[in-house]
Amino acid sequence: MLKEKTAIITGASRGIGKAIAEIFAENNAFVGINYYKSQLFAEETFKKIKEKDGKAILLKGDVSNPKEVESFIKKFVSKSKHIDILVNNAGIYERSNFEKISHKTWNNVISTNLSGCFNVCKQAIPYMKPGGKIIFISSQLAYRGSSHGADYASSKAGMLGLMRSLALELACKKINVNAVAPGTIDTDIIANYSEEVRKQRKKEIPLNRLGTPKDIANTCLFLASNLSDYITGETINVNGGLYIH
């Protein structure tokens, strides 16, 4: 589905980002695996893609740092010449109620989750041609809010505002901009959940299971392909019916 396409996925060393990188590579895209601190995980993702004859490159860089973003975008373009697909997935989640959120934590979450998207888009868009696709990985918490992550929910809501604005602005250039809002996905974010909590979460979900990274990756594959050419400015909720918006 993505033959001869080039794609950058931020935060692609594990979890949702890893699943997206792998399914894009399986569909013949040349994939840029961005990571910051998780080098060993990123190398494992790279190795797995190469073992299946996929094409990929490692791109180290902190999305909250404009200079590092400029550096890894240039590194990718030196190999690919242009960017067809950009997935803004990098993010952090510091669980804490509002009273305990420090200014430092707030700024760190916003600068990574939201400003990071701005930084990457700012550098990547000049290399995108008509037919390009930009995908933001938001969250159901962008709609619902969170009693233990106001900073995270705010950053994910802000992503949707940026997504809609870019969809309007880039439509004349034939670049589609959309978002995916995952529900409860079985990644490192919920790794500390007890079995009891997991069972309770499943009961709350109409489809009676937690989501998987591949559930999100499959949706991103659709949005990255030409099957979604007439969709822009939209958010696809992938949550098993947990929150129907």
Catalytic residue among 35, 152, 193, 243: 152
Number of C-beta neighbours around residue 129 at 10 A: 11
Check: CB of residue 93 under 8 Å from CB of residue 149.
yes
Residue closest to 10 by CA, chosen among 68, 95, 51, 79: 68
Q: Answer for the pair 235, 138: CB distance below 8 angstroms, yes or no.
A: yes
**Alpha-carbon distances, residue 148 vs 15, 96, 107, 241 (angstroms):** 21, 5, 16, 22
Is residue 152 annotated as part of the catalytic site, yes or no? Answer: yes
Cα-only R_g, the chain: 17
Q: Are strands 83-88 and 176-182 parallel, antiparallel or unpaired?
A: unpaired
Active site residues: 152
